[in-house]
Amino acid sequence: MKRDLVTIEDLSDAALVGLMDLADDLQRDLHAHARELSGFLMGSLFLEPSTRTRLSFEAAMARLGGRVITSSDPQTSSAVKGETLADTVRIVDSYVDLTVLRHPHAGAARWAARHARGPVVNAGDGSHEHPTQTLCDLYALRRERGRLKGLFVALYGDLRYGRTTHSLARALVRTGASFLAVAEDDLELPGFVVHDLLRHPDYGVRHVVLDDLEEVFHRNDVRALLVGPTDQLPAGGDDAHAPVSFPLRGHTIDAIYVTRLQQERGASTARGLPILDHRFLRSDPFQETVVLHPLPRVTEIAPEVDQDPRAAYFRQAALGVPIRMALLMWASGHYDLPLDEHPAAPPRPVDGFRCVATRCIAGQDGEGVPQEIGVREHDVPRCLWCESEARTET
Ligand code: NCD
């Protein structure tokens, strides 16, 4: 089977650990692996802006002795002439051994993988997922904190349109960490992610209100989603959606993962959450916090924090190279990882529904992407491309 990476769910728990272990080996001397993938050719097809992801993939391939061809400016690709993604991918795939794709539409990587003979790696598909950023995030967390199991992480910012937190939330519950998703009401984690979290045995989700940190948040009613082992969650009331009070004082947040407002995907600029600055990090729960960010940072972390030893985002970005080297060794077939012994059952296909998400690959004129809707136990029907909730066909 070809080794596509479309969502973080494509990698088993053991594979996540295996990739980080391999990255540790590679990281010891980045210059020592220049023959691993010699003769191998990677195509970077980036139809949306990128600095870190593309360059760290290309650096990773170069460090392994492979070569790269790139199309990184959507304005100079044939997409502007009206070529479909499927056709572009067929062509790139016929030139290279592996394709790394970034695309503005959710589900684009899955669609591309259907048309490629070689592996396709998702480098970000709209506001859906960004699995290789999650590999980098987990790896940075593990290196900064020495472990993942039992960590308490805060996800902070635009959790709705930011794709990195979608993949990260899915992965954190599989590594034994707990997290608090802190966002304004219209920027919270989307339903497809929350539903996924609920599928994990022994894990639960609580709506909470953070009511004791006025000096941090300038108010006492910040709502959050608390996700963790069921026996560690505060008791909920009869109404599963009514938030329960969750005093943060007395808890230690091991890491805060900050994201920028994704204005290009429709996030409103009326942002209510405060900027992370010295004052924020002085408060009790954040004293020991490692600060992570997928970058680019805009205004959500004050530049004064950069000098703080807890600011780990530049160290995190640098780890994008060894972890992507590890991923490329696996995806190219040069390194094996343990497969999932008990993969989740795929969603059951259902008729009579359609995806109405405007930024889904299935809704793009001319792409010819079929409507494919599926349902999992205890969930609503979802689009198999972008995972948003499907509507009944009228
Ligand atoms: C992120 C992305 O593209 O989703 N950037 C990245 O790959 N490091 C985050 C963002 O753009 O905000």
Express each pLDDT in 196-229 by its tens digit: 898 888 899 999 999 888 888 888 889 999 999 9
Q: Is 348 noted as a catalytic residue in this protein?
A: no
Selecting among 3, 130, 170, 324, the annotated active-site residue is 130
Mutation pick for ligand 1 pocket among 53, 139, 265, 359 (CB with most ligand atoms within 8 Å): 53
Q: Which of 132, 81, 127 is nearest to 103 (CA)?
A: 127
Q: How many CB atoms lie within 10 A of CB 174?
A: 18
In this structure, what are the phi and psi dihedrals at residue 386, rounded to the nearest 5 degrees? -105, -10
pLDDT at 287: 93
- Pocket of ligand 1 contains residue 72 by CB under 6 Å: no
Q: Is 149 noted as a catalytic residue in this protein?
A: no
State pTM to two decimals: 0.97
Q: At residue 128, what is the residue type? A: H
pLDDT tens digits, residue range 8-54?
999 999 999 999 999 999 999 999 999 999 999 999 999 999 999 99
Closest Cα to atom 1, ligand 1: which residue?
A: 294
Tokens of 157: 């910012």
Q: For the CA atoms of 4, 10, 14, 18, what is the dihedral angle to 10 degrees? A: 30
90-128 core/surface letters (b: 16 or more CB in 10 A; e: else): eebbeebbbbbbbbbbbbbbbbbbebbebbbbbbbbbbb
Give me the mean pLDDT over the 79-83 stretch: 79
The CA–CA distances, whole Å, from 92 to 89, 98, 101, 105, 251 equal: 5, 9, 10, 19, 50
Closest Cα to atom 8, ligand 1: which residue?
A: 294
In this structure, what are the phi and psi dihedrals at residue 134, rounded to the nearest 5 degrees? -65, -40
pLDDT tens digits, residue range 230-244?
999 998 766 777 899
If pLDDT is split at 50, 70 and 90, which confidence band does 300 have?
very high
Q: Is 67 noted as a catalytic residue in this protein?
A: no
Q: Evaluate if residue 320 carries a pLDDT over 90.
A: yes
If phi > 0 it is left, if psi is from -120 to 50 it is alpha, else beta; for residue 366 that is left
Which atom belonging to ligand 1 lies closest to the Cα atom of 102? 3
Mean pLDDT score across all residues of the chain: 94
Q: Which of 59-68, 150-159, 239-248, 255-264 has the lowest mean pLDDT?
A: 239-248
Give me the mean pLDDT over the 95-110 stretch: 97
Which residues lie below 8 Å from residue 124, measured CB to CB, with a gap of 6+?
Answer: 48, 50, 53, 102, 103, 130, 133, 163
Mutation pick for ligand 1 pocket among 52, 58, 102, 130 (CB with most ligand atoms within 8 Å): 130
What percent of the chain lies above the pLDDT cut of 70?
99
- Cα–Cα distance for residue pair 7/237, rounded to 1 Å: 34
Domains and CATH numbers, the chain: 8-130+318-331 (3.40.50.1370), 132-316 (3.40.50.1370), 347-394 (2.30.30)
Please answer whether residues 208 and 226 qualify as being in contact, where contact means their C-beta atoms are separated by less than 8 angstroms.
yes
Q: Evaluate if residue 255 carries a pLDDT over 70.
A: yes
CA of 316 to the centre of ligand 1 (A): 13
pLDDT at 73: 80
End-to-end CA distance of the chain: 38
Burial class (CB in 10 A: 0-12, 13-18, 19+), 331: buried
Please answer whether residues 106 and 361 qualify as being in contact, where contact means their C-beta atoms are separated by less than 8 angstroms.
yes
Q: Evaluate if residue 270 carries a pLDDT over 70.
A: no
Give me the mean pLDDT over the 273-293 stretch: 95
